[in-house]
Structure 1
């Protein structure tokens, strides 16, 4: 606990320094060398090329002991350079966040983490156009297979306003499942700063159509495609499982001759019905740059159209739902009512992991249970049987 607290405090230090530098110089992010030179210029009063506890000011003085790695009472060149590099990385991440709300690893970093037994094809455009969001990463087994492989679509969360295809489990999971024999894609989509709902739905549907259109190229069985998502991503994969062409959510992307439906859905902490959110949140969502930007008088209609609960039917694909009873972001009633509606409609293959006391991060908080459940679920419904 003490170690965790120390890391959190140090993170706040880093963020504090980065925000301070950003406020002082918005035109250009200084290099690590420039940062060190500036610190020495403003704080090194005796000119000995190091900063003492008496010379340090502001956040550096407040957190001196943490920065002083060898505890000698001075911040020397090496310690200052280490801090400066951390600040530069943080500032760059903040610039990326302001630009497109995507904190991501570079392709070079990604290639370094890819194991030898899989093949990665990064940043494939699943449709042409101006949006940089219309890209996916594909990961597949290096070994050959005479039979077409099942596929899994990974869709990141982030409240429809942030997130990235390479973040956390969405890339890590894609790699792990590729090692198990699946062809996996992890998908970016337009965030609400670029386009409001239903753009994100249209984009992930286009990505699935792209996968089917390229099934032969990547040795994919188009009848055995599953999807996993968490939070906003869970909402989107539920739409991949339920919203048929008559929902008119296919968008204007290519491959319209292909189906965008998937054959198995694993969804955790899922917003299943936008009409369940309270009135204050509903009203806010109609503002420019928000999820349902547009006329307030059509909000209910548009919210219903974008809700997985609207499309519940007896022919729903197999579902594995995970929700925590203490989720304060997406209330447990979303999971309970959705599961109940699917069951009532006659959906044949339903699993519901309802975790007492778990919050919005339920899937990873309960990973000893949820990870094996997801693996068994996809194995049962994608590897052993088609829809």
Structure 2
């Protein structure tokens, strides 16, 4: 299947439902783990960067097909990137760390398939929104950490990424705020199968904020200042910590925007600045993945 965007240099060839890993504890309709791959057409002469998209949905909902919206993976592929949108285990079937195990398996799979799909294995990025932004941020902060690697597929390859775009994402589960409740039934306690009293160590392990140090990948952080689900303070604190550690951070506060990145909660879908956000992400990946 081929997709195209007006005015872009490449068409997009879609290879759907490619298996990148397998796990025993998901429902039959979700196993094995799959991804949708987009290849630029014609393929550039030199190996190209690859970018992974992780969908949102409070870790409990959503599906990889959302990565095919034109302002997401197709935009990048239409400018020469290889992109993938991944399935990961949802929290209603498997608690954390299953989600990061799956995301890391997808990165390793890309490297294992680099020659086949003309990918430069040293130029891999990740982006995501909300829960997907959290997974992308955690990927960026924990490349090759044995405790979070899992065993879902492609052993022997690195899970490091070289650039991250995280939008409306949580970074600290110990001090969540907003609708991210860690001591009563919520998407957070479902993700960890327990409250902070029972799962404090696991919540810390899942929080990108607590991995901040020098030499992490460049980040683009996008967050609405009126986000009712994930407080804007989460993005501010994470950005400040990255800056203080000497890292490259491209911070974009969206003034007056809510968790859905709209300036009103009930505006039509078309009024969300998706095209502008897509262009920002494209420029960021072009710069930091050297393309």
* TM-score bracket for the superposition, by shorter chain length: 0.7 to 0.9
| SS class of match (1:310) | helix
Residue 272 of structure 2 corresponds to which residue in structure 1? 365
Q: Deviations over 1:227-265 (max 9, x none)?
A: 110000000000111113336111122223111111010
Structure 1 residues 280, 151: closer, same or farther in 2, change over 3 A? closer
Asked if 2 retains the 8 angstrom alpha-carbon contact of 1:285 and 1:292, the reply is no
Match of 1:148 among 41, 44, 47: 47
Q: Are residues 1:119 and 2:13 paired?
A: yes
**For 2:243, which of 343, 360, 364 is the aligned residue?**
343
Give the structure-2-normalised TM-score.
0.86
Structure 1 residues 280 and 257, CA gap change in structure 2 (3 angstroms):
closer
Aligned to 2:165: 266
1:211 Cα offset (Å) = 0.6
TM-score normalised according to structure 1 size: 0.65
The residue that corresponds to 2:7 in the other structure is none
* Residues 1:228 and 2:127 are matched in the alignment: yes
Where do residues 1-387 of structure 1 align in structure 2 (5 Å cutoff)?
111=1, 114-115=3-4, 117-130=11-24, 131=26, 132=30, 134-167=33-66, 173-246=72-145, 248-278=147-177, 281-284=181-184, 290-294=190-194, 297-347=197-247, 349-362=248-261, 365-367=272-274, 369-384=276-291
Asked whether the 8 Å contact 1:286–1:299 carries over to 2, the reply is no
The structure having more radius of gyration, on CA atoms, is: 1
CA drift of 1:168 comes to 6.0
| Alpha-carbon contact 1:157-1:229 (below 8 Å) kept | yes
Distance 1:287-1:342 versus aligned 2 partners, 3 A rule: closer
- The offset of 1:353, in angstroms, is 0.4
SS of the counterpart of 1:316? coil
8 Å Cα contact 2:183/2:189 also seen in 1 = no
How well do the aligned residues superpose, as a CA RMSD in angstroms?
A: 2.5
Is the CA contact 2:226–2:232 (under 8 Å) kept in the aligned structure 1? yes
Aligned equivalents of 1:340 and 1:311: distance in 2? 13
Q: Which has the higher contact order (CA 8 A, sep 6+)?
A: 2
- In the TM superposition, what whole-angstrom CA distance separates every residue of 1:173-197 from its partner, at most 9, and x where no partner exists? 2122111100000001000111011
Q: Contact 1:227–1:262 (CA<8 Å) still a contact in 2? A: yes
Q: What is the deviation of 1:369?
A: 4.0
Structure with greater strand share of residues: 2
Q: 2: CA distance between counterparts of 1:344 and 1:137?
A: 37
Q: Which has the higher helix share?
A: 1
Given that 1:193 and 1:289 are in contact with CA atoms closer than 8 Å, whether structure 2 keeps it comes out as: no
Alpha carbons of 1:121 and 1:261: their partners in 2 closer, same or farther (altered >3 Å)? Answer: same
The total of aligned residue pairs comes to 272
Structure 1 distance, partners of 2:189, 2:182, is 14
- In structure 2, list runs of 5 or more residues that go unmatched: 5-9, 263-270
8 A contact 1:171–1:186 mirrored in 2: no
Indicate how the Cα distance of structure 1 residues 197 and 128 shifts in structure 2: closer, same or farther if over 3 A, else same: closer
